Amino acid sequence: MEQERDFKLPLFVRGDIDGFFGLILDNLVQFLVVSSLLVGIYGMPAEIVYGRIFPGAALSLLLGNLYYTWQARRLAIRERRSDVCALPYGINTPSMYAFVFLIIGPVWSAHRQELGDTDAAILAWHICLAASFASGLLELSGAAVGSWIRRVTPRAALLATLAGIAISLISMPFVIHMFASPLLSFLPLAIVLATYFGRLRLPLGIPGGLAAVAAGAALAWVGSAMEPAAVSSAVGQLGIKWPKFMLGDMLRDIDLSVLANSLPIIIPMGLMNAFGTMQNIESAEAAGDSYPVASTMSVNGAGTLLGALFGSCFPTTVYIGHPGWKALGARNGYSMLNGVVVTVLCLTGAIKVLVSLVPVEAAFPILLYIGIIICTQAFEATPRAHYPAICVGIIPGIAAWGLILVGFSLTVATGGQFDLAIAEKFKTMFDFELKGLMNLAGGFLFSAVFLTAITVYFIEKDFRRVILWCCTAAVFAYFGLIHSGTISAGQFIDRVEAGAAWRFSLGYLTIALFAGLYLIWEKLKKGDNRNG
């Protein structure tokens, strides 16, 4: 307490405004995608999405954001630093897509003729709540071993994976949107480039993020890209929507056989979520802010569990992007502000009003900036000799994005009726190995770490650790946690079962054998030199 009185730490600083706009707009994009998919594709009633799922998600986001705000303030006071940045937190994007397309979609399709579109969508939602709850338990279990994993994993392996995600899953989708609407996006892009990279100060000290969003909104309304009727409709639907405790509904409607069929999605996504949190903690430490692994991962898992109990069927996570928010000048207040504002928007239905007022394209340049900063950090925080390993680690993330594009295209073209035979057609018609893309993208958060670590230790000529990492990768491949991509019911999935990717398992063991033989040869050579 005495230490806190000696060191005065403001709750908000100017940079928190930029950080808040970037983080909340990122969260709003997630909510917009969720509502578009569930209501637009699977026919889920809008009152379920806006009245049950979003309020439940708000609780989980409020818990996490408030905790990570407190965590950042505690670190700043302990180390007497005013530049500590809180960890960003929100809905896990890969899990969101996986749960929508691989759990909700198949359950809805299987029961829509029997129950009708609406009741089938509600059943799929309840099954997905159970899946999200199970994912949260996996995240909590990862807290026990998270610190040890960080100690034995080279920094390049953790950061390279994030760099791949930053380029493929964060930057590229938004860049594509920006170049689809240049009249709306280029002015916000210029403001972001000038203020964030060029450090240009705007008149009256206006934050760059606020200026970019305001400029994008103004251009959209002047160019008649927005609809006044949508604003009126959203305002008319305002009202308090309290979260509902969903455990009883979840247990009543749960189908254990359906849930068991979802384990190949739940297990890898839960493990990837836990591992992604560790990578983001490493990224924060590389930027100067060292946070404890166990408590950070525990709160992350607790947020997912709380959301599932109150209606949110999507896991939450510590976001990648800490170095980007920190570079913007955000500290701890942006996280608290994000949690409070998102909660208010979700509980009142005002989230629909905000989306109708501000085009999401206005926020895309901010998210592009975050992706660039993350990729840059992977190189800045690792030895120059490890740069080739980082480039290797970026590749699986790019493959994952490519597979998403192929998956969306095939779903639209075939109505979700494609199977493994399509891979042969790709090879015949385009000389393109779709199977190779599936295998490279399968479990990409794990495989990127393995490939990077193996490359790092080859660079360091540490062949013992090459062997250890290859043997670990072989185990993951054997049980289908990496490189086990296949197609089932018109969806790309990973086969999580014994022997799923045994060829890759043998491949990694072959690399281990090569390293072992070289190690033996080196020892023999040293023995000959001593005898000589």
- What's the mean pLDDT in 507-523? 93
- Mean of the pLDDT values across residues 397-421? 85
To which residue do tokens 């239905």 refer? 349
Residue 1: which pLDDT band, with cuts at 50, 70 and 90? very low
DSSP 202-215: PGGG--HHHHHHHH
Average pLDDT of span 271-283: 79
Q: What would the pLDDT profile of 150-160 be if each residue is shown by its tens digit?
A: 788 888 887 88
248 CA to centre of own chain: 29
> Alpha helices, DSSP H only, in 51-181?
54-79, 93-99, 105-115, 117-142, 146-152, 155-165, 172-180
**pLDDT above 90: percentage of residues in the chain:** 30
The answer on pLDDT for 531 being more than 70 is no
**Contact status, residue 50 vs residue 352, Cβ threshold 8 Å:** yes
pLDDT in tens, 218-237: 998 998 888 888 888 878 87
pLDDT of 273 higher than 80? no
* Distance separating alpha carbons of residues 323 and 345, to the nearest angstrom: 27
Q: Report the pLDDT value the prediction gives residue 194, as an integer from 0 to 100.
A: 92
pTM of the model: 0.71
What is the model's pLDDT at position 56?
A: 93
Question: Can you give the pLDDT at residue 265?
Answer: 64
DSSP at 200 = P
* Bridge partners of residue 494, in order along the sequence: 485
Q: In terms of pLDDT, which residue wins out, 386 or 3?
A: 386
Phi and psi angles of residue 54, each rounded to the nearest 5 degrees, phi first: -65, -45
Tell me the CA distances in angstroms from 481 to 208, 216, 239, 333, one per residue in order: 42, 42, 44, 38
Longest dimension (CA), the chain: 91
When the pLDDT of each residue in the chain is averaged and rounded to a whole number, the result is 85
